[in-house]
Amino acid sequence: MVEVEYDTMKPHIAVLPSPGMGHIIPLFELAKYLVVHHNCHVSFLNITTEASAAQTHLLRSPACTLLPPGLQVIDLPPVDISALVSEETLVLTRLSIIVQESLKSDLKSVLTELGKLQALVIDFFCTQAFEICRELSIPTYTFCTTSTAFLSFALYLPTLDREVECEFVDLLESIQVPDCAPVRIEDLLDQVRNRKIDEYKWMLLHLSRLPMATGIFLNLWEDLEPKSLKAIREHSFYKQIPTPPIHVIGPLIKQDEVPMTEMDAECLAWLDKQPLDSVLFIALGSGGTLTAAQLTELAWGLELSRQRFILVVRKPTDTSASGTFFNVGGDFNDPKAYLPEGFLERTKGVGLVIPSWVPQVMVLRHASTGAFISHCGWNSILESISHGVPMITWPLYAEQRMNATMLVEEVGVAIKLSTGGQEKGIMGREVIERVIRVVMEGDKGKMMRDRARELKDSADKALNFGTGSSYKSLSCVVQEWKAHIS
Residue 397: burial class (beta carbons within 10 Å; 0-12, 13-18, 19+): buried
Average pLDDT, the chain: 92
Q: How confident is the model at residue 63 (pLDDT cuts 50, 70, 90)?
A: low
The confidence band for 417, taking pLDDT boundaries of 50, 70 and 90, is confident
Low-confidence winner among 150-164, 221-235, 313-327, 377-391 (lowest mean pLDDT): 313-327
**What confidence tier does 288 reach under pLDDT thresholds 50, 70, 90?**
confident
The reported pLDDT for the residue numbered 418 is 64
Q: Do domains 12-250+463-483 and 262-460 have the same CATH topology?
A: yes
Domain 262-460: assigned CATH number = 3.40.50.2000
Reported as a single tens digit per residue, the pLDDT across 357-404 is 888 999 999 999 999 999 999 999 999 999 999 999 999 988 999 999
Mean pLDDT of 126-151: 97
Report pTM. 0.94
Is the separation of the CB atoms in 417 and 374 below 8 Å? no
Domain locations in the chain as residue ranges: 12-250+463-483, 262-460
pLDDT class for 322, splitting at 50, 70, 90? Answer: low
For residue 176, count other CB atoms closer than 10 A to its CB: 12
pLDDT at 419: 46
CATH architecture, range 12-250+463-483: 3-Layer(aba) Sandwich (3.40)
Please name the amino acid found at residue 229. Answer: L
Q: Can 450 be counted among the known catalytic residues?
A: no
pLDDT, position 67: 84
The pLDDT confidence band at residue 1, using thresholds 50, 70 and 90, is very low
**pLDDT tops 70 at residue 221:** yes
Nearest to 366 by CA among 475, 234, 271: 271
Higher pLDDT, 356 or 438: 438
Catalytic member of 12, 38, 123, 264: 123
- Is 57 known to be catalytic? no
Residues 114 and 43: their CA atoms lie apart, in Å, by 8
Q: What is the structure's pLDDT at 333?
A: 74
| Residue-level pLDDT at 485 | 87
pLDDT grade, residue 227 (50/70/90)?
very high
Instruction: Please give the pLDDT value at position 53.
Output: 84
Q: Burial level of 85, CB count in 10 A (0-12/13-18/19+)?
A: middle
The tally of CA atoms less than 13 A away on the side-chain side of residue 330 is: 14
* For residue 320, pLDDT beyond 90: no
Q: Is the pLDDT of residue 258 over 70?
A: no
pLDDT at residue 62 in the model: 57
- Return phi, psi of residue 145, to 5°: -90, 20
pLDDT in tens, 12-45: 999 999 998 999 999 999 999 999 999 999 999 9
Angle at 330 (CA atoms; ends 329, 332), nearest 5 degrees: 100
Q: Which residue has the higher pLDDT, 197 or 329?
A: 197
Looking at 103-112, 224-233, 312-321, 431-440, which range is the least confident one? Answer: 312-321
